[in-house]
Amino acid sequence: SNSMKIIFYFLYYKYDKYTKKKKKNIIQQIL
């Protein structure tokens, strides 16, 4: 159960970093 939580947070962290990177790229394309 605790390991599942760790995996969930890890995936969320990776997803968050990825989406922020994408948002930056989209903003740069607009500018």
pLDDT digits (tens, 9 = 90+) for 1-31: 789 999 999 999 998 888 888 888 887 887 7
Q: What is the structure's pLDDT at 3?
A: 92
Cβ count within 10 A of residue 26: 10
Locate the domains of the chain by residue range.
1-31
Q: What is the structure's pLDDT at 10?
A: 92
Alpha-carbon distances, residue 2 vs 15, 25, 26 (angstroms) = 20, 35, 36
Q: Give pTM, 2 decimals.
A: 0.53
Q: What is the structure's pLDDT at 9?
A: 92
